Protein backbone atom coordinates (compact mmCIF):
# COMPACT_ATOMS: atom_id res chain seq x y z
CA UNK A 1 0.00 0.00 0.00
CA UNK A 2 1.54 3.32 -0.99
CA UNK A 3 1.47 6.48 1.14
CA UNK A 4 -1.37 8.12 -0.81
CA UNK A 5 -3.59 5.08 -0.47
CA UNK A 6 -2.79 4.76 3.22
CA UNK A 7 -3.49 8.45 3.86
CA UNK A 8 -6.79 8.24 1.98
CA UNK A 9 -7.82 5.16 3.98
CA UNK A 10 -6.91 6.80 7.29
CA UNK A 11 -8.90 9.93 6.42
CA UNK A 12 -11.86 7.72 5.49
CA UNK A 13 -11.65 5.83 8.81
CA UNK A 14 -11.30 9.06 10.80
CA UNK A 15 -14.40 10.38 9.01
CA UNK A 16 -16.59 7.61 10.37
CA UNK A 17 -18.80 8.28 13.39
CA UNK A 18 -16.27 6.71 15.77
CA UNK A 19 -14.91 3.35 16.77
CA UNK A 20 -16.78 0.25 15.70
CA UNK A 21 -16.35 -3.43 16.43
CA UNK A 22 -14.05 -3.70 13.40
CA UNK A 23 -12.27 -0.34 13.93
CA UNK A 24 -10.23 0.78 16.95
CA UNK A 25 -8.07 3.86 17.50
CA UNK A 26 -5.28 3.66 20.08
CA UNK A 27 -2.71 6.18 21.29
CA UNK A 28 0.85 5.17 22.32
CA UNK A 29 -0.09 1.50 22.36
CA UNK A 30 2.77 -0.99 22.77
CA UNK A 31 1.59 -4.03 24.72
CA UNK A 32 2.19 -6.98 22.34
CA UNK A 33 -0.20 -9.38 24.12
CA UNK A 34 -3.05 -6.86 24.07
CA UNK A 35 -2.35 -5.92 20.45
CA UNK A 36 -2.67 -9.60 19.51
CA UNK A 37 -5.99 -9.87 21.35
CA UNK A 38 -7.29 -6.69 19.69
CA UNK A 39 -6.27 -7.91 16.24
CA UNK A 40 -8.02 -11.21 16.76
CA UNK A 41 -11.19 -9.54 18.05
CA UNK A 42 -11.18 -6.97 15.23
CA UNK A 43 -10.67 -9.68 12.60
CA UNK A 44 -13.57 -11.70 14.00
CA UNK A 45 -15.81 -8.62 14.16
CA UNK A 46 -14.93 -7.69 10.58
CA UNK A 47 -15.95 -11.18 9.44
CA UNK A 48 -19.23 -10.97 11.37
CA UNK A 49 -19.99 -7.59 9.80
CA UNK A 50 -19.01 -8.85 6.34
CA UNK A 51 -16.10 -6.43 6.05
CA UNK A 52 -13.01 -7.38 4.04
CA UNK A 53 -10.78 -5.98 6.76
CA UNK A 54 -10.71 -4.70 10.30
CA UNK A 55 -8.49 -1.85 11.44
CA UNK A 56 -6.39 -0.99 14.47
CA UNK A 57 -5.00 2.52 14.01
CA UNK A 58 -2.23 3.38 16.47
CA UNK A 59 -0.73 6.83 16.93
CA UNK A 60 -1.25 10.27 18.43
Threshold 0.85, pTM exceeds: no
3-state secondary structure 11-56: HHHHCCCCCECCEEEECCCCCHHHHHHHHHHHHHHHHHCCCCCCEE
pLDDT digits (tens, 9 = 90+) for 43-55: 999 999 999 999 9
pLDDT digits (tens, 9 = 90+) for 8-45: 999 999 999 999 999 999 888 788 888 889 899 999 99
First to last CA, the chain: 21
Amino acid sequence: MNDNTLNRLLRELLGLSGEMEWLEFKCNYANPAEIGEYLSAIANAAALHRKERGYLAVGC
